[in-house]
Chain A
Amino acid sequence: MTARERVVAARRTLGAAVVARALLWAIALGASLLAIAAVLDWLVGAPRGVRALVLPAAMLVAAITAARVLWRGRRVRSVPTIALWLEERVPALNYSLVSALESPHASASLEREVAAVHWMPVVRRAVGGALLPPLALVVAVVVLLLALPAGVRERIRAPRAGDTLLRPPVAAAALRNRLSPLVADVVPPPYTGGHAVTIEEPSSIEALTGGRVTLRGRGSASGIAATMAGAPVVVRDSANEWRLEIAMPVKPAALELRDRTFARTVVLAPHADSLPVVTLIAPARDTVMRTPTGAFALAAQASDDYGLDAGWFEYIVSSGEGENFTFRSGIVRRASLGNQRGAHLSGALDLGALALHPGDLVHVRAVARDRNDVTGSGIGVSETRTIRVPRKSEYDSVAVEAAPPPDADKAQLSERMLIMLAEKLQQRRPSMARANVVKESQDIGRDQARLRQHVGEVIFARLGGAPETEDAGAANDGGAKLTPEQMLAAADAATRGAGAGATDFEGDETPVVAVNRPLLEAYNAMWDASRSLDVGEPGAALPAMRTALAAIQRARNAERLYLRGKSPVVILDIAKVRLAGKRDDASSSTLQPRAALDSSAERRARRFDRALDRIAADPRAAIDSLLALRVDALTSAPPLAAALAPAIDALRTGRDATDALVRARRVAAGVTVEQSDSPWGGGW
């Protein structure tokens, strides 16, 4: 074996040692972190979120440690470096090894000199010295971890809800409160398909009625008593825990737990499975059928919070009159809905098969049933529609069918509204087809023409004649419509016809024309606007429309009169208004407002105040009082119950409960604080 081959062999050994050292240090430090975290968690109890970070952190530390050790030993790959390392530790080599390696053709004497020296013992000692410290640390940490209770290791290895019971108690068994820690496992009823939930240290458990609630705590069940609504609840031993199982009641209740002098109250806040919501889509409204033949389409929409079981349509046929009526009922198209939360029901009612006669009434409704097998299936029904077959005697009676609401009265469209419509159309114009633009523009144009006719009627009416429309004028003029100029001329003619009183001249205009000029300008501008709108050019129509609006405003401002006489001075008799007056001829008695009733809200507020008074002296009693108040409030005042929950949790866990108590106090006192954080927007 040449000198180089011997050095390569030493390098292989040292390289393996570097890798092993890296692994051992990685394991040692990673396990050390786990052990430290486990011990700390055992002593002080760490939150689940923190514990969940320990294992990834340990792996990260191990990876970093391994990388660092490998990086520091990276030069072990170099043969000359190994040779120098050997020369340093084996002086007998006397640089012959380095010389033999540097020379491509080493002399036989050099090879013999190197071969005479054995360095493997030195290499083995170095390897042993490098591996021993991390190996010792690994052994120590592993021993420590194995010495820890299994529950402590489990809490670090796989943190999960409810593992608070795995943490061994620090206090002596005789002094220990077995009601804390407390874990609740809530399993919803099977029909909901929901998952079980574990809650640690519950002060309130909210679950669907019928769900299974299991409460667990550390230690034996002996001496632990539980009551719910006055009835005892069985507490059993299970491995190293005590546990009790109850079904979530229909009404809110308080579960009282006692362990010697320790007591604890847990509020059970059930919520009920809601009934299916069914909406009948078809038939959309009640109707009358003179000839009851053919099939009537039925459609409905159903939804449920957990799942629908089945849905169908029901009908009832009532026949007869006077005091003799008969009824028939049936079901149409029952369908299994397969636990869906929403479903569409459809079917058809064959009127011919019902053999209806005049005077018969058919009532139809849709029905859906949920899968609640705990408190009974909830059945939701839609509103009922009726189909009536009229009697012959009713044919000539006034039977008015319900009609949809009419279109908006176009006569109420003002010039301002038309401008807004035209502006919107102009904005949308780039994204619209030309045909649609023309159609909508012409619609606006028709309304513009209607308004123009109205202006024309006003002008004629003010001239003293009977209201005369353009159409009437067209009939008189052989089919030609009045132009603005003709309107002006007609106005002048009417003025001259009226004759008397036209004495106040302004320029060349007669006074009536002058008074009506703004309206005539508006009329003229409306003509221009109509022309542009009719050819689908709302943008071109807008200036004329705005001119018309301005002219209308001028006319209105010019003629707005504020004639007012002297208003009476009104002095109120406040006592009379408040029905608190008195008569002089009767005995004097001052009416006092009645005292407010002792409402349940006030009682709750007083209970809340009394509980607050106890907080300083006896916090546990205060918490129990608040819990009892919350049980009552769950039914009668849900907002107060919701506000109490965070306050109770904060008090129980020793956190600052001030804010939560203030909020609850406001709710209890009926003080509603409006949030004024709605966005402000808009402008003039």
Chain B
Amino acid sequence: MESLVTSLRIAFVTLLVGAGGYTAVVLGFARLAAPATAAGSLIARPDGTVVGSRLLAQAFTQPRYFWPRPSAVGYNAAGAGGSNKSPTSPDLTARGEQVVAAHGATAARPLPADLAAASGGGLDPHITERAALWQVERVAAARERPPTEVETLVRRHAFAPGGFMTQERLVNVLELNLALDRP
């Protein structure tokens, strides 16, 4: 009985400090140190409408935009997830065929793998620089702009996430597409 009372007292104090105080301190720190990312790294147009988060992928299907990696959840940012298919699964082969057809990849011009493989959360905001360059031809044609101009834009957006510990340079798809739309 005494044990129960002691347990309740300690449960109350740990709840107060662990769930309450701790959260409040981290919230306060976030508000001071990084208010924009603390709210979800949202990107807004000058008129205030939010177009998305720079951390989250969104669907792009029009030829005039760069396309992100496939998403097993249709880029649902309120119910994220992966395909959870085994790498040996015939379902993955079927999706691979679909993506290859959509991008128009051929044996002579194979598709970079990140454009065929879905990410873990279905919201990976990046593609590899290679995968972006691979799409330059289509995007440039759809926008009737010289491919070299679009290519320069891609290269300007490419970055190495881990510095010297990174093998592959990446591009943020939403930011790249926003830059494309800018006159």
A and B together in one complex: no
